[in-house]
Amino acid sequence: MFHPIRTAALLVLPFGLAITLPALADPDADRGPTERLEADLRGFFAGEGTLEIGEISSALLRSRVTAEDLRFESHDGERLSVERYIVRGDYDRPDEVTLEGIRLEAFLDEPAVMNIEQVVLNDPGRAVPPRDEEALADQWLGSLALSGLNLELAEGPVASLANLRLDGDLEDGSGGLWIEALEIDLARMIDQAPADERTRLRMISNVLTDGSGRLRLDATFDAEWEELDGRTRLVSEGHIDLEDALRLAHAVTLPVLLPEGVSAAELFTDEALLEAATLLGGDVRLTLGDRGLFPRLATLGAAMGGVSETQYLEQARTQAQGFGMMFGPQVQALLSGLVELMEGAAETLELTVTLPAESRLGSLADDPLALPDRFDMRVETR
């Protein structure tokens, strides 16, 4: 049986941004957009609980229809409210759908409240999404922006997100994901974990957050491509920042020969096509910047091993040399660079990989241990 709250939970783009989406009702040419929107909303919740709608109005000059003060209560007692649901543009092909003032009170495992200030879906293709969850992701969540998310458990606030923006429509040659100020109260969440797991989880939390118990993350991922003379050039850049822990950045440039009849957009949605693509060389650069995490890893490793930090680092250097004897100098250089980060001799490690030409992406994944012999890898610390 279709369940609107459960469907919403499965659509989480971190933490459940699509919790209020209605189902598609059959259009009726004799009805205006206000009547159609009300019918679609009531059709979505039919049989699952009770729905109240405060008011639905339209603005013809601005091509806008708005449903206000939506309140739904499921048979299980879960409550969902939306202050405004706004459809802009042609109802059959809207330019934008906006949901404002979203609040979800759920009681499945434990009491939880999620509030979202606003979700904006750009060019969603229809005023309301399909009921099918897979079709929902494919047809309706291609481009969206979310702001002001907060998640609370009975013990208090546990997570917040200032802004999230997703551009998943790959047909226009670019896409990306941007996350601003995602904060998670790890300490409070660990308190709710099984007792036998809390010690290990607190150890991980202390290493990641320098003992604060609060994790903050910012991230950016951009991708674009261009097609020329039957070849495609894929470019991607991005970074993840963990406050007081680390910064991981990447820059990728891949000239690719696609299978006949395949577009770059299709390449990213079908793993089989991705593996069948032929690399024409390319470069991958990964930059790892320490923000305090690696020295804490050394402290933790020494404590767990019952040795001093000096002894632990010496053991790590010896192990790096051992792996170098087995897998080559490139692997040794990478592991030795990580040791430099842990001992504070370096703040940044940069790994640059030049990929072989005329090779299948699938073949590179078949034998990962042989990869160091197949491409040029350079490691630099500073």
User: What is the pLDDT, as a whole number, of residue 263?
Assistant: 73
CA distance 195 to 183: 24
**R_g of the chain, CA atoms, integer Å:** 25
Contact (CB, 8 A) for 194 and 206: no
Distance of CA 43 to the CA centre of its chain: 31
Question: Could you tell me the pTM of the whole model?
Answer: 0.85
CA distance 356 to 364: 10
CA distance 382 to 348: 5
Structure tokens that stand for 96 in this block: 């934008």
Structure tokens that stand for 265 in this block: 């957009």
Q: What are phi and psi of 347, to 5 degrees?
A: -110, -20
CA distance 180 to 191: 26
Q: What are phi and psi of 294, to 5 degrees?
A: -70, -40
Contact (CB, 8 A) for 348 and 290: yes
CA distance 106 to 152: 11
CA distance 275 to 279: 10
Q: How far apart are the first and last CA of the chain?
A: 57
Contact (CB, 8 A) for 254 and 279: yes
CA distance 272 to 249: 27
CA distance 207 to 133: 37
CA distance 187 to 204: 11
CA distance 45 to 20: 10
pLDDT by residue for the chain (382 residues), tens only, comes to: 445 544 444 333 333 333 333 434 444 545 788 999 999 888 878 888 999 999 999 987 678 999 999 999 999 889 999 999 999 999 889 999 999 999 999 876 778 999 999 999 998 888 887 777 777 777 777 889 999 999 998 889 999 999 999 997 777 778 899 999 999 999 999 998 899 999 999 999 999 999 999 999 999 999 988 877 768 888 999 999 999 999 999 999 989 887 777 777 676 666 676 677 788 888 999 999 999 999 999 999 999 999 999 999 999 999 999 999 988 898 999 999 999 999 999 999 999 999 888 776 666 666 666 666 677 889 999 9
